[in-house]
């Protein structure tokens, strides 16, 4: 039995109904209607949330396109958050694709067109001297988690300018639906520094700052000013960077990670979910981790983050650090990343191969280079990961070449949304006669093959950040360490039951995501204690703090403040 919570509010009448965090619509009780002067503003029937949900389900089922479903859910969120989250939590597998990838991608592309009412903060460059004042606009709110983007690399869809706001809103919806973080703690922010997307600039409906992106020192100074203002206003907040362009993601991570409680989801959250899923895939493959060779296609934020955490995993498994690094082959637009390549970012250079490493390989078609296919032929990877945003680059030839030398190829085309995925799971399974062990970034239906149904593991950072955030908030962890991500990966792998073994099952079902997030939160808390970030606590205390932090979407009784 849940205890009914009582909240005090100073809002009355229409203002109370118009506040999505507090609104209960016609579920306000008779006495609340009297206290808050709601009689007459609502029809006489007093309903339960269950009855309201029936109406929501009916309305949702009337929608005929995914974009309409997205708009409907966003409108519900902007009207009655408790009801929205109840609907989400009870139907997470079906609804997550509508508020998150893949449909949020379209939501970002059409953000200005479908814009209804504001949510979160838009901090535009022309207002750069007023950031503190802008943050004051939400000073009523107890902000504990911020997701911030500048909209430059939205999923695999490139620069969406202010439309990128769909991503912080979607990510924070998952913090609540999947991780149990109270919605009142969450704040989406878009840093509007312009856009280089000409279609957006030419669109009369575009709601952003109609300017090309500011760059260089001006841009960095603006982000610095934003982070400094956040620290002043909410010194203990968790700040998640999301969908920044490659040249900024790792740079800001290094710049701020010791200054406040922050992380970059595309670099670290992605690496963490990949490591968690790889741990399960390696079990299925029957080949020990120490014996795996990995080709990562897309040497960007996600790709290099994944490689670094996987190297760490191998090292923890007993492989010599240099040897572990040598097992990774990063492919970018020019083929295999080599140390002779001009213009590598430092995080790419650390993963580059030297000519000496590859002395045994026959020369490539282009002297001094190795194409993706040539690398697959020579390196004989057991694991292939795609994070390029380029659809279909895992061709039949690539997959068949890989599968010729490995019994159970582990193939993870991880780019989002669905139309940016590097390969169709059904093709990969067909090309490998059902031998491939597959993970994708966006959801795919299970694939029928040879009389069996193969589930496709949604290897998305959404399995990690809600639980990570829950652990951080529950214990008041002040910084985010690498150890916390590794603990999250291992907790994710531990939460996987593996099914009956007839087909690869790499991740627990999304329907269990709140329990998974709880387990991740506890593991993250223990890692933070181990890393000396917070005071020691026993297991029961940690679990109790995590449970006490988890918010459930149920109506509270209100009393006047
Ligand atoms: N499944 C998940 O949880 C996540 C998936 N992703 C996906 O990964 C993709 C990349 O994200 P980031 O690494 O942040 O972007 P990024 O821009 O930092 O990196 C992408 C890299 O791919 C390279 N690339 C582009 N075309 C290529 C080609 N044909 N061959 C080889 N390399 C090529 C680019 O040069 C760049 O270095 C996006 O589509 C994103 O949706 C990102 C984060 C999480
Ligand atoms: C999932 C995610 O963070 C991305 O595709 O960017
Ligand atoms: Mg992202």
* CATH number where 176 lies: 3.40.50.10380
Domain final residue, candidates 219, 235, 259: 259
**One of 24, 60, 85, 100 is an active-site residue; which one?**
100
Within 10 A of 233 (CB to CB), how many other CB atoms are there?
A: 16
Considering the domain architecture, whether residues 477 and 435 belong to the same structural domain is answered as no
- Three-class DSSP category at 386: strand
Residues 6+ apart with CB under 8 A from 513: 92, 177, 178, 463, 466
Within 10 A of 118 (CB to CB), how many other CB atoms are there?
A: 10
Query: Is the distance from the beta carbon of residue 416 to the nearest atom of ligand 2 less than 6 Å?
Result: yes
Give the structural domain span for 126: 48-259
Q: Indicate whether 43 belongs to any domain.
A: no
Retrieve residue 529's tokens. 């204690």
Considering the domain architecture, whether residues 363 and 481 belong to the same structural domain is answered as no
H helical segments located in 380-508 = 396-403, 425-431, 465-475, 482-495
d(CA 526, CA 548): 17
Is-catalytic flag, 454?
no
Residue 224 C-alpha to ligand 3 middle, in angstroms? 21
Considering the domain architecture, whether residues 278 and 422 belong to the same structural domain is answered as yes
Per-residue model confidence as pLDDT tens digits over 201-221: 999 999 999 999 999 999 999
Give the rounded distance of the alpha carbon of 560 from its chain centre. 38
Total count of residues recorded for the chain: 561
Mean pLDDT of 549-557: 97
Q: What percent of the chain has pLDDT over 70?
A: 99
Q: Indicate whether 92 belongs to any domain.
A: yes
Considering the domain architecture, whether residues 289 and 155 belong to the same structural domain is answered as no
d(CA 175, CA 178): 6
- Nearest ligand by distance to the CA of 464: 1
What CATH number corresponds to the domain at position 443?
3.40.50.720
Per-residue model confidence as pLDDT tens digits over 305-323: 999 999 999 999 999 999 9
Contact yes or no for 261/469 (Cβ under 8 A): no
- pTM (two decimals): 0.97
Q: Indicate whether 23 belongs to any domain.
A: no
- Three-class DSSP category at 419: helix
Domain final residue, candidates 425, 440, 459: 459
Q: What percent of the chain has pLDDT over 90?
A: 98
How many structural domains comprise the chain?
3
Q: Is the pLDDT of residue 55 over 90?
A: yes
Half-sphere exposure of 206 (CA within 13 A, CB side): 21
Is-catalytic flag, 171?
yes
Q: Indicate whether 210 belongs to any domain.
A: yes
- Three-class DSSP category at 280: helix
Considering the domain architecture, whether residues 109 and 201 belong to the same structural domain is answered as yes
Considering the domain architecture, whether residues 146 and 225 belong to the same structural domain is answered as yes
Per-residue model confidence as pLDDT tens digits over 16-54: 999 999 999 999 999 999 999 999 999 999 999 999 999
Domain final residue, candidates 438, 459, 480: 459
E strands in 269-315: 294-297
Mean pLDDT of 112-116: 96
Determine which of 137-141, 197-201, 210-214, 263-267 has the lowest per-residue pLDDT on average.
137-141
Considering the domain architecture, whether residues 248 and 347 belong to the same structural domain is answered as no
Considering the domain architecture, whether residues 185 and 314 belong to the same structural domain is answered as no
Half-sphere exposure of 116 (CA within 13 A, CB side): 13
Q: Indicate whether 11 belongs to any domain.
A: no
Residue whose C-alpha is closest to residue 111's, from 83, 79, 74:
74
Given CA atoms 241, 242, 244, 249 in this order, what sign does their dihedral have?
Answer: positive
Query: In the structure, which protein residues have their CB atom closer than 6 angstroms to any atom of ligand 1?
Result: 153, 155-156, 246, 266, 270, 273, 297-303, 331-333, 387-390, 393, 414-416, 420, 441, 459-461
Q: Indicate whether 187 belongs to any domain.
A: yes
Considering the domain architecture, whether residues 112 and 217 belong to the same structural domain is answered as yes
Band the pLDDT of 348: cuts 50, 70, 90.
very high
Within 10 A of 349 (CB to CB), how many other CB atoms are there?
A: 12
Contact yes or no for 24/51 (Cβ under 8 A): no
Q: Indicate whether 16 belongs to any domain.
A: no
Position 4 scores a pLDDT of 57
ipTM for the whole predicted complex goes beyond 0.85: yes
Mean pLDDT of 144-172: 98
Q: What is 13-72 written as a DSSP string?
A: HHHHHT-TTT--GGGS-HHHHHHTT-BTTB-S----HHHHHHHHHHHHHH--SHHHHHHH
Considering the domain architecture, whether residues 212 and 67 belong to the same structural domain is answered as yes
Q: Indicate whether 306 belongs to any domain.
A: yes
Considering the domain architecture, whether residues 239 and 345 belong to the same structural domain is answered as no
**One of 24, 60, 85, 171 is an active-site residue; which one?**
171
Contact yes or no for 379/373 (Cβ under 8 A): no
Q: Is the pLDDT of residue 2 over 70?
A: no
Half-sphere exposure of 399 (CA within 13 A, CB side): 29
Considering the domain architecture, whether residues 214 and 141 belong to the same structural domain is answered as yes
């Amino acid at each position: 039995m849940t205890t009914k919570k009582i909240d005090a509010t100073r809002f009355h009448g229409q203002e109370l109904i118009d506040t999505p965090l507090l609104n209960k619509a016609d579920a306000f009780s008779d006495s609340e209607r009297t206290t808050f002067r709601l009689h007459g503003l609502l029809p006489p029937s007093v309903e339960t949330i269950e009855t309201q949900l029936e109406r929501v389900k009916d309305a949702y089922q009337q929608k005929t396109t995914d974009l309409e479903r997205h708009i409907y859910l966003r409108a519900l969120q902007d009207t009655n958050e408790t009801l929205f989250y109840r609907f989400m939590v009870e139907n997470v597998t079906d609804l997550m694709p509508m508020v998150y990838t893949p449909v949020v991608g379209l939501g970002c592309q059409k953000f200005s067109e479908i814009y209804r009412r504001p949510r979160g903060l838009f901090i535009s460059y022309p207002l750069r001297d007023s950031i503190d004042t802008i943050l004051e606009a939400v000073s009523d709110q107890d902000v504990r988690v911020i997701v911030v983007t500048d909209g430059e690399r939205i999923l695999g869809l490139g620069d969406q300018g202010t439309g990128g706001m769909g991503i912080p809103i979607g990510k924070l919806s998952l913090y609540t639906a999947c991780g149990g973080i109270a919605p009142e703690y969450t704040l989406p922010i878009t840093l509007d520094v312009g856009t280089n997307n000409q279609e957006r600039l030419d669109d009369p409906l575009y709601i952003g700052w109609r300017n090309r992106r500011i760059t260089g020192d001006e841009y960095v100074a603006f982000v610095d000013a934003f982070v400094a203002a956040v620290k002043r206003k909410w010194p203990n907040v968790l700040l998640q960077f999301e969908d920044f362009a490659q040249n900024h993601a790792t740079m800001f991570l290094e710049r701020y990670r010791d200054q406040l409680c922050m992380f970059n989801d595309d670099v670290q959250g992605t690496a963490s979910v990949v490591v968690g899923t790889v741990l399960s895939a390696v079990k299925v493959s029957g080949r020990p981790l120490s014996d795996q060779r990995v080709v990562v296609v897309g040497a960007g934020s996600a790709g290099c983050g994944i490689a670094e955490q996987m190297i760490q995993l191998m090292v923890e498994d007993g492989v010599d650090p240099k040897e572990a690094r040598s097992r990774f082959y990063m492919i970018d637009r020019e083929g295999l990343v080599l140390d002779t390549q001009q213009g590598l970012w430092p995080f790419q250079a650390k993963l580059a191969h030297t000519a000496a490493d590859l002395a045994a390989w026959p020369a490539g078609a282009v002297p001094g280079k190795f194409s993706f296919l040539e690398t697959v032929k020579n390196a004989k990877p057991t694991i292939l990961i795609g994070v390029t945003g380029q659809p279909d680059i895992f061709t039949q030839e690539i997959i068949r070449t890989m599968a010729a030398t490995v019994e159970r190829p582990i193939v993870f085309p991880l780019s989002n949304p669905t139309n940016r995925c590097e390969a169709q799971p059904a093709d990969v399974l067909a090309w490998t006669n059902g031998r491939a062990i597959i993970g994708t970034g966006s959801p795919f239906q299970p694939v029928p093959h040879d009389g069996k149904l193969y589930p496709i593991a949604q290897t998305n950072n959404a399995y990690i950040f809600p639980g990570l955030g829950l652990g951080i908030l529950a214990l008041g962890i002040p910084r985010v360490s690498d150890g916390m991500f590794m603990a999250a990966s291992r907790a994710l792998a531990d939460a996987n039951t593996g099914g009956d073994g007839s087909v690869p099952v790499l991740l627990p079902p999304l329907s269990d995501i709140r329990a998974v997030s709880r387990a991740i939160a506890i593991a993250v808390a223990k890692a933070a204690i181990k890393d000396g970030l917070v005071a020691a606590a026993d297991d029961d205390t940690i679990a109790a703090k995590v449970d006490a932090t988890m918010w459930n979407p149920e109506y509270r009784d209100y009393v006047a403040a």
